Amino acid sequence: MANNDASFLKLFLAPVAKYLDDDSVSEILVNGPNQIYVERKGKLELCPEHFPNEASLKAAAVNIARSVERILDDMYPDLDARLPDGSRVHATIPPISRVGTIISIRKFKKDALSLDSLMKFGSFTEDGAKILNALVKLRKNIIVSGGTGSGKTTVLNCLSSLIPEKDRILVLEDSSELQLKQPHSVYFETRKPDKNGKGEFSIRNLLIASLRLRPDRIVVGEIRGGEAIDLLQAMNTGHDGSMSTIHANTPQDTLARLETCAIMSGIEMPLSAIRSQVAGAVHAIVQTARLMDGSRKVISIAEVMPLDENKDYRVRELYRWKTTRVDAEGHLEGHHELAERPTFMDMAKVMQLDMPWS
């Protein structure tokens, strides 16, 4: 089927066709007919190409919408769609966008970075990998936290690759990005409401449905809002070994952010109860960041401890990145180091897991 690849895209988007074919390009950003950027290795590059004019660019966007049976017009000036090849397309037409039609294409990554390649890139060391492996094998509930583009989804994908093959894994996402190797992985994707506001199927709906599908592990692509409460409840009711990502800058922040998201669910619950839920549900946080030199790293792995006597969150850092020097060109020197001993060392020994501590 011709529609099963991105060939029709290339037809509509002739000026950027070569970037659609170029595997080193992860994202294509068209800001009106006269400005095109692409992302390569996390860096944006301005391209020399242009569209002939706004009318042809807008026609391309409308055709893309039609090809996925969606509408893009004056009434519905905004399109967010997944293409048959897995890429995401977002398009906005004037007057909502002021420079002309905007199109962004996030290409589907064919092979996600493996644990070994992340180690090679210096994202974490062998010690870090051992800790991550232990967290997954001991069925800890893990949240990967970090800024946009800091490598959260990549790390989540690596963590999920450490899940034993015998487990039944349910993967719930807004747009399909994760690629698990395990044969017993079952994928779900949310659905946006249609133009009449009907038919939405959210991460919350998926979480509730998934609990009836006998999951051994639940992997949620990203927590952005009220679905936090459903994930926390799932984690607190025996679905250990689940994992997700969230936008936050430190492990402490992650817990506060989860709390805020849980409150967004509208569920009436005293703050102290929500905090106990958060602290009880989440066992570990893996913090990612994009550093000054553009490198992406795991900058902290922390264990979540029970609330203190003031009902505040407590974390215990097990592993961290330490920057020791930044030169004038912004080059970074530093190293990963072990911090505190995990509280689960005894269990890790029982399970004969290789740990950086003895």
Ligand X SMILES: Nc1ncnc2c1ncn2[C@@H]1O[C@H](COP(=O)(O)OP(=O)(O)O)[C@@H](O)[C@H]1O
- Partner whose footprint covers residue 324, from Mg ion, ligand X, none (CB < 5 to 8 Å by kind): none
Binding of ligand X by 153 (CB under 6 A): yes
Q: Is 150 in the site for Mg ion (CB under 5 A)?
A: no
Among 17, 47, 113, 353, binds ligand X (CB under 6 A): 113
By CB under 6 A, is residue 154 in contact with ligand X?
yes
The span from the CA of 48 to the CA of 50, in Å, is 7
**161 touches ligand X by CB under 6 A:** no
Residue with token string 């952010």 = 257
Please, which residue, 148 or 324, has the CB nearer to ligand X? 148
Tokens of 191: 């659905």
Q: Within 10 Å of residue 226's Cβ, how many Cβ atoms? A: 17
Beta bridge partners of 171: 187, 219
**Is residue 87 part of the contact set for ligand X (CB under 6 A)?**
no
Q: Select from 120, 130, 230, 114 the least CA-distant residue to 172.
A: 230
Query: What is the distance of C-alpha 96 from the center of its chain?
Result: 27
DSSP assignment letter at 351: T
Of 87, 101, 141, 153, the residue at the interface with Mg ion (CB under 5 A) is 153
Binding test (CB under 6 A) with ligand X, winner from 84, 149, 280, 334: 149
The smaller minimum CB distance to ligand X, of residues 233 and 254, is found at 254
| Binding of ligand X by 63 (CB under 6 A) | no
Q: Which of 32, 33, 151, 215 binds ligand X (CB under 6 A)?
A: 151
Residues 19-58 within binding reach of ligand X (CB under 6 A): 26, 42
Mask: binding to ligand X, 294-313, rule CB under 6 A, as x and -?
A: --x-----------------
Interaction between residue 221 and ligand X (CB under 6 A): no
When asked if residue 157 is in the footprint of Mg ion (CB under 5 A), the reply is no
Q: Which helix (DSSP H) or strand (DSSP E) does residue 36 occupy?
A: strand 36-40
If we measure between CA atoms, which residue out of 128, 132, 130, 153 comes closest to residue 142? 132
The residue range among 78-86, 141-149, 187-195, 302-310 that interacts with ligand X, by the rule CB under 6 A, is 141-149
User: E strands of 93-238, at which residues?
Assistant: 102-106, 142-146, 169-173, 185-189, 217-223
**Residue 242 half-sphere exposure toward CB, CA atoms < 13 A:** 29
3-state secondary structure of 214: coil
| Between 25 and 61, CB nearer to Mg ion | 25
Which of residues 125 and 153 has its CB atom nearest to Mg ion in the complex?
A: 153
Tokens 């450490």: give the residue: 162
Give the binding site for ligand X (CB under 6 A): 26, 42, 113, 118, 121, 123, 146, 148-154, 296
